[in-house]
Chain A
Amino acid sequence: MSITVDVEFSGGLELIMKDKVRQATVSLPATADGKPTTVRQVILYVRDNLVADKPQLFSTENTVRPGVLVMINDSDWEVEGENDYQVQDKDKVLFISTMHGG
């Protein structure tokens, strides 16, 4: 069983992705080691497969770098349980960098 998750990048994060993609659909197993897949696995997948340049701008210590906002289905991930949120099929995860000048 696998699930697909829609990932999107903005706030400048798209610029460090392969081909500067703003959006990608990733396929992940629904469970890992018998446990449901969490958004942390989505982050690690993005870091290992989609980031082309300067991975430290996206991720540090096996999660997003402080200053990157994560929206899960249009909600702040801090309301949804952060790294431990269990991703569902067709979820949309948006990463927004806040580290750029205004």
Chain B
Amino acid sequence: MPRVCEICQGAKAILRRPKTGQSICKECFFRVFETEVHNTIVDNKLFRRGDRVGIGASGGKDSTVLAYVMKTLNERYDYGLDLFLLSVDEGISGYRDDSLETVKRNKEQYELPLLIVSYEQLYGWSMDAIVETVGRKNNCTFCGVFRRQALDRGALMLDLDHIVTGHNADDVAETILMNIFRGDIPRLGRCTEIATSGDGYITRSKPFKYAYEKEIVMYAYFRKLDYFSTECTYSPNAYRGYAREFLKDLEAVRPSAILDIIHSGEAMQVASEVKLPSQTSCERCGYISSNRVCKACVLLEGLERGVPQLGIGKSVKKTQDLLAGRTATRSGRAVDVVHFDKLRKHAQEMRHERCTGCTCDTSAPGT
């Protein structure tokens, strides 16, 4: 005796929602999933009409579903957004090259323009080359630091107003746990926010902040979306792995655990006497940084000097102070990293070219 959908009472139920415990049919699932994402977008006023929005696309399940849903909602509710796919090629053969093939197919399937920025092109160092130099132990540090900047660089190249990423509820809950375990108070505060706009930098948001991973995977499955799933060849990221397993065990006992953790994270407030690091611009590349030289530039310096440990572990802060006021070493692979001021200026020129007959002042500082 098949179970009947608890929403429409008509069709056969094909999925139990972890959020509500309801058993529902395929059509009702599509509708509630899409509507909830729409509500997240509207309630949090994530976009403005005319915004140029880049979808951070890796070819994996989350970003593939995000691209599909963003395109669908933009048309259905007439958000008036210009959508783009923005991908980062870390240069990991056997992993990213394959997943980028998926993104290229998505570009055709969803008819969205695609920009791929690579570590090789931006920094002169691919992850394969970095791993060859630093080994497999700390390479995730490089990858994480470079990726964040790479997305911002890509966003400026496209003159985007906004980047959306596929981070889902499980990811957010996992990150909250990790930040609590590590006592990382500044990150704990930031990771629960649905949208962050880092001091005039491009706004980033997570429209799937409240969407369960299970539903995203099910959505991809029932919509027959084309995505790529392989673990990164270099990824040991053991710490996140434990947090994730722990979370999945909790979810098995009590499905609401994921949203409960997000709720707890949101409710936590940093006491006013806790001093958070103030932000400035990196004197080398212009990227936002809490030191005079940003982490990416320190890592690059280490690679160029043949001492890749330079930017890793407890010594980073000291190294950052040490490098302040000195010119970057460029001995090997590294290219001259384009300064963010230049990228911003270019973005502004593009913006000016797009608006016809306007009177905007091109001498004003970039947005």
Interface of A toward B, CB cutoff 8 Å:
10-12, 15, 65-67, 69, 71, 74-76, 78-79, 96-102
Contact = CB atoms under 8 A, between A and B. Distances in A.
Nearest to A76: B15
Contacts of B23: 78-79
B229 A100 contact: yes
A79 B3 contact: yes
Contacts of B266: none
B139 interface: no
A98 B251 CA distance: 13
Contacts of A69: 214, 217-218
B14 interface: yes
Contact of A76 (B14, B60, B244, B248): B14
Nearest to A68: B248
Interface string B202-224: 00000000000110111001000
Contacts of A97: 229
Contact of A79 (B14, B60, B62, B63): B14
A102 B216 CA distance: 10
Interface size bucket, B side?
20 to 34
B318 to A, nearest CB: 32
Interface string B242-284: 0011001101100000000000000000000000000000000
A23 B171 CA distance: 29
Interface string B171-203: 100000000000000000000000000000000
Nearest to B62: A102
21 contacts: A10-B229, A11-B217, A11-B229, A65-B248, A66-B248, A67-B244, A69-B214, A69-B217, A75-B14, A78-B15, A78-B16, A79-B14, A79-B16, A79-B23, A98-B214, A100-B229, A101-B60, A101-B231, A102-B60, A102-B61, A102-B63
Given A12-B231, A79-B23, A101-B232, A71 B221 contact: yes
B248 A96 contact: no
A98 B14 contact: no
B96 to A, nearest CB: 11
Contacts of B3: 79
A99 B245 CA distance: 9
A100 B251 CA distance: 17
Contact of A100 (B13, B60, B171, B221): B60
Contacts of A11: 61, 217, 229
Given A66-B249, A79-B3, A79-B23, A100 B231 contact: yes
B230 interface: yes
A101 B168 contact: no
A15 B217 contact: no
Contacts of A67: 244-245, 248
A75 B58 CA distance: 27
Closest 7 CB pairs of A and B: A102-B62, A66-B248, A102-B60, A78-B16, A67-B248, A76-B15, A66-B252
Contacts of A78: 15-16, 23
B229 A12 contact: yes
B154 interface: no
A102 B15 contact: no
A31 B195 CA distance: 54
A15 B168 CA distance: 24
Given A78-B16, A99-B244, A12 B214 contact: no
B133 interface: no
Nearest to B56: A102
Contacts of A12: 229-231
A96 to B, nearest CB: 6
A75 B221 CA distance: 11
Nearest to A12: B229
